Structure 1
Amino acid sequence: MAVKKTKTVFVCQECGYESPKWMGQCICGAWNTFVEEKVLPIDGEDKRRRSSSAGTEGGAGARAKATRISDVRSGDYTRMDTGIGELNRVLGGGMVKGSLTLISGEPGIGKSTLIIQAAAQIAGRYGTVLYVSGEESEEQIRMRADRVCRGSVDNLYLLAETNMEAVMKVAEEIRPVFLIVDSIQTMYSEDLDAAPGSVSQVRLCGNLLMRLGKMGQLPIFIVAHVTKSGELAGPKIVEHLVDCVLHFTGERNQELRILRAFKNRFGTTSEIGAFEMEEEGLIEVENLSKSFLEGLEDGTEGAVATAVYEGTRPLLLEVQALTSPTNIGFARRTTVGVEHSRLNMILAVMDRKAGVSLINQDVYVNVVGGLKPEGTSIDLAVALAIYSTFKGIPGSSTTLAIGEIGLTGDLRSAPNADKIIREAARMGFKKIILPKKNAERIADVPAGVRLAGVTGLREAIAELREAAPGARGER
């Protein structure tokens, strides 16, 4: 193994000027400020490095150099409009130059469709876009582009390649403004003998793409596979390496698709984007609340409307519940969109604080649309939906319930209740059951809306029975 020889340089402590020999006076005018330093040359072609040094671009004499934080230019990131409003929303306002974004999802969910639509929009707005595919031929990608892309795609270049060195060479030749790699599990580097998709290959290819993007201020989208459990395949280090991690979810037999950010260095992770899969590609869903509430009708037992605040907008949705007598063994608890542990807690509070025992009942809870809302604002709606189906109380399509249930049976305040109320009024709701503390802080109540402020679960149940159209009473 060859030993790298060090060389001696003299550095001015005032301005940082480097000289191969000692000088009494620096070019900045300072005297006797030079200090001798030993420098270990770094190979500029070392692919493991994030970028070249600040002073020189490559070369055997390239020297790593730290920068004072006060000398680093700070300001807003330069963002690119993808031409897709819902994608811009999830990214935090657009795509940041030099960013590395990882997008994953189940096979056939629409990842490639979304990306090629964004690629076509960016190609028409900003210039050359390079789409690298290790899974499909150029003809297959062209067929999809003809179906889902609108307008001219002359600036969109296709490359069917799995060799990372070849991809980087082509990127240097055509200098795209946006690069897409579909997918990272199919790429390999000549520096390793491991098979494509292995931990070492995915890690190395991710590092090479990061180096390419950061050095050239090139935004890069990486498509990734998922495991059987729906988690991102490959080493966890890739998620730490990238700037944004997006996940595309939805049922393949349904049209609705939800895009959510699990990590975003340039924005919030609480935003979601909604799309519908149509023959002409993915269509943005502007009124997501309406699509979630389409099946909510008067007189339906076990259905209650609720709301959560996702990022910068309130989102109204429907919670459904069903109870059935247990035949054998222990009672079953099945949830879709609600944490299993959270449901068990709500059932325990209903038993001890509201006198509703479900120990001999199977309980099923579903958030309509396949959405998994974050936070605890839907607790009250879950409890009321369970009570409604257990007691045979028909639900009201104009009543909405929000609030967190505490272990003492009281209701805790829901965040952004004022904005949720305005959205509920716009959607035609007449009565909103919410924690009393929230109701007291709402000064401007929309016309035609009645706020039912309650302190505990028993009061909320009483308000539900009052709102029920043609209630049949308890069984």
Structure 2
Amino acid sequence: MKEKIIYQCSSCGYQSLKWVGRCPGCDSWNTVEETIVQMTKKSTTSKNNIKKKAPTLKLTDVQGSKSDRIVTQINEFNRVMGGGIVRDSMTIITSPPGGGKSTLTLAVANDVAAKGYKVLYASGEESDSQIKNRADRILNKINENIWIIADTSMDHVLETIEEIDPDLVIVDSIQTFSLSQHLPARAGNPTQTMECSNELLKVAKNSNKPRAVIMIGQMNKNDEIAGLRSLEHLVDTVLVIEGEDEAELRGILATKNRFGSTGEMGFFSMTERGLLSIDNPSEFFMTKREEGEVVSGSALTVLREGSRPIIVEIESLVSNAFTPYPSRIGEAFRREQLNTLISILEQRGGINLFNKNVVIKTTGGIKLKEQAVNLAVIMSIASSVYNKGIANDVVFIADVGLTGELKKVPALEARIKELDRMGFKKVYIAKNAFSKTVKFNNIDVVQLKTLQEVIQQVFSGGKS
């Protein structure tokens, strides 16, 4: 046995061959300490230890395979996964603390188990009783095909996988596990995290017994998966749960998916019974009103979340300001973008807001990230100023330039087709946004050049 001096961070476990004042792993100062470790002598490499070379094939001769999927009853989860869980896949789910990672994976585990598959749920963060309490709270009935192990040793988890032979392995969270062969590096150390993940990769990609592996990943202060970026390259799918702590709405975004569409978004509602799939987002993000009922300050538009068009209601409130600096509040909108649209409305639409407070929000709390919503935002503000409601079957899809001209937006035909399918009667878009030869069943497509033209048509010249 030989002794070797290394320098290890007492905060995150990062190891270095030389002392540094600031830890590269966690950016902490004066936490790197000298440590003596015992080094075992490496055995002489023999021919028997050399890994057999993989065969070299022509790409045209390789036999293609169709990914076998486990389709759950959670529709929005299936959507972001690309149609279900691939049997030999690695997925990592991350979010800020309290985002719903463990709640979602436990619901997925129970759904998969109900289909007759074996599931192993390994937790390094919670005890078995804590997992049971959560299951009692969010699941109607706990399936007998779920096994749990509350342990931080990846060696024990791998042994349990051999014993139980599960079809789905869930690890919560990967940063809490360690392998004995890489001690004294602590759990959460980049080396431990990557080596544990590599062992799970071998489990998932085993040609004799492929298994699906879902890992939960902790998120750092920069809202990224804790550890090396290599972890994201290792897995097949990366899912990020978005949403405010107190908000009901949760969005799950696929930032990477080898078996589906990157950028796909699924929507869930956080309730006392866990995360519930929102299967028809358009209904969730609109207010249900009686036929012919209109309210001022409301306008509809169509967002594109992943491959899906979603109809969204934008609400505004304009009130008198009694301070030198009126408020500009956008709960689902960047303040800089809101100020820009207000300036356009004042200069190009002829509506003075210099002494008015303006508040913008969306029904359901969905974030407005696209330029395609800009016309609807402006029209909702104008509706509030004029105190005139816009008909519930009228929608606005266009960007608005600083010149007051309407601009075309991507995937416009798909958005209008969704409106046509939902029974809307009229949509305002930019002039020459697409060919007039495109025909729809019920909806009237109005193509106009400027914001002023839209305001005049919708409000018949302005304030009553």
**TM-score normalised to structure 2 length:** 0.78
The residue number in structure 1 matching 2:57 is 68
CA distance, structure 2, for counterparts of residue 69 and residue 373 of structure 1:
47
How far 1:65 moved relative to its partner?
4.1
The residue number in structure 1 matching 2:376 is 381
**CA 1:62–1:291 in 2, change beyond 3 Å: closer, same or farther?**
same
CA distance, structure 1, for counterparts of residue 344 and residue 249 of structure 2:
34
Counterpart among 104, 119, 124 of residue 114 in structure 1: 104
CA distance, structure 1, for counterparts of residue 75 and residue 435 of structure 2:
36
How far 1:102 moved relative to its partner?
1.2
**Residue correspondence of structure 1 range 442-457 to structure 2 within 5 A:** 443-447=438-442, 449-457=443-451
How far 1:397 moved relative to its partner?
2.8
Provide the aligned C-alpha RMSD in A: 3.4
Question: Is 1:143 matched up with 2:155?
Answer: no
**CA 1:204–1:290 in 2, change beyond 3 Å: closer, same or farther?**
same
CA distance, structure 2, for counterparts of residue 157 and residue 456 of structure 1:
62
CA distance, structure 1, for counterparts of residue 327 and residue 183 of structure 2:
50
Render the CA deviation track for 1:422-470: whole Å, top value 9, x for unaligned. 43355453332222334753643333x433221222112223314x9xx
How far 1:317 moved relative to its partner?
0.8
CA distance, structure 1, for counterparts of residue 176 and residue 360 of structure 2:
39
Render the CA deviation track for 1:390-425: whole Å, top value 9, x for unaligned. 444434333211112234432233344444334335
Counterpart among 270, 281, 285 of residue 263 in structure 2: 270
How far 1:90 moved relative to its partner?
0.9
**CA 1:318–1:172 in 2, change beyond 3 Å: closer, same or farther?**
same
CA distance, structure 2, for counterparts of residue 261 and residue 77 of structure 1:
18
Question: Is 1:99 matched up with 2:99?
Answer: no
How far 1:125 moved relative to its partner?
2.4
Give the aligned residue type for 1:432. V
Render the CA deviation track for 1:233-279: whole Å, top value 9, x for unaligned. 44433223322111223345454332221221221133322233444
**CA 1:329–1:183 in 2, change beyond 3 Å: closer, same or farther?**
farther
Q: Answer with 403-412 or 167-176: which moved more.
A: 403-412
8 Å Cα contact 1:126-1:177 kept in structure 2: no
CA distance, structure 2, for counterparts of residue 267 and residue 398 of structure 1:
34
Question: Is 1:178 matched up with 2:178?
Answer: no
How far 1:228 moved relative to its partner?
5.4
8 Å Cα contact 2:287-2:363 kept in structure 1: no
Counterpart among 153, 156, 164 of residue 146 in structure 2: 156
Render the CA deviation track for 1:324-371: whole Å, top value 9, x for unaligned. 566667665443333445434434443554344556655433233222
**CA 1:428–1:170 in 2, change beyond 3 Å: closer, same or farther?**
same
How far 1:282 moved relative to its partner?
3.3
SS at match of 1:262: strand
How far 1:179 moved relative to its partner?
0.6
The residue number in structure 2 matching 1:193 is 184
**Residue correspondence of structure 1 range 414-453 to structure 2 within 5 A:** 414-425=409-420, 427-438=422-433, 440-441=435-436, 443-447=438-442, 449-453=443-447
Segments of 5+ residues of structure 2 without an aligned counterpart are: 3-41
Q: Answer with 86-95 or 196-205: which moved more.
A: 196-205
Question: Is 1:257 matched up with 2:250?
Answer: yes
CA distance, structure 2, for counterparts of residue 292 and residue 250 of structure 1:
15
CA distance, structure 2, for counterparts of residue 197 and residue 351 of structure 1:
54
CA distance, structure 2, for counterparts of residue 236 and residue 369 of structure 1:
33
The residue number in structure 2 matching 1:316 is 311
The residue number in structure 1 matching 2:67 is 77
Question: Is 1:239 matched up with 2:228?
Answer: no
Counterpart among 458, 465, 468 of residue 459 in structure 2: 465
**TM-score normalised to structure 1 length:** 0.76
Give the aligned residue type for 1:219. A
SS at match of 1:437: coil
Total equivalences in the alignment: 417
CA distance, structure 2, for counterparts of residue 184 and residue 229 of structure 1:
18
8 Å Cα contact 2:429-2:445 kept in structure 1: yes
How far 1:91 moved relative to its partner?
0.7
8 Å Cα contact 2:285-2:366 kept in structure 1: no
SS at match of 1:378: helix
How far 1:159 moved relative to its partner?
0.7
- Determine which structure has more spread, i.e. the larger CA radius of gyration: 1
CA distance, structure 1, for counterparts of residue 175 and residue 288 of structure 2:
40
CA distance, structure 2, for counterparts of residue 254 and residue 405 of structure 1:
30
How far 1:141 moved relative to its partner?
2.0
Render the CA deviation track for 1:79-119: whole Å, top value 9, x for unaligned. 22133221111111111232211112243343222212211
Render the CA deviation track for 1:145-169: whole Å, top value 9, x for unaligned. 3444456622211111111122122
**CA 1:360–1:217 in 2, change beyond 3 Å: closer, same or farther?**
farther
8 Å Cα contact 1:422-1:446 kept in structure 2: no
The residue number in structure 1 matching 2:215 is 222
Give the aligned residue type for 1:127. Y
Q: Answer with 117-126 or 340-349: which moved more.
A: 340-349
**CA 1:357–1:134 in 2, change beyond 3 Å: closer, same or farther?**
same
The residue number in structure 2 matching 1:208 is 199
SS at match of 1:223: strand
**CA 1:328–1:442 in 2, change beyond 3 Å: closer, same or farther?**
farther
8 Å Cα contact 1:131-1:156 kept in structure 2: yes
Counterpart among 260, 275, 286 of residue 279 in structure 2: 286
8 Å Cα contact 1:418-1:442 kept in structure 2: no
Counterpart among 84, 89, 96 of residue 79 in structure 2: 89
CA distance, structure 2, for counterparts of residue 353 and residue 244 of structure 1:
46
SS at match of 1:441: coil
CA distance, structure 2, for counterparts of residue 304 and residue 236 of structure 1:
42
Q: Answer with 256-265 or 419-428: which moved more.
A: 419-428
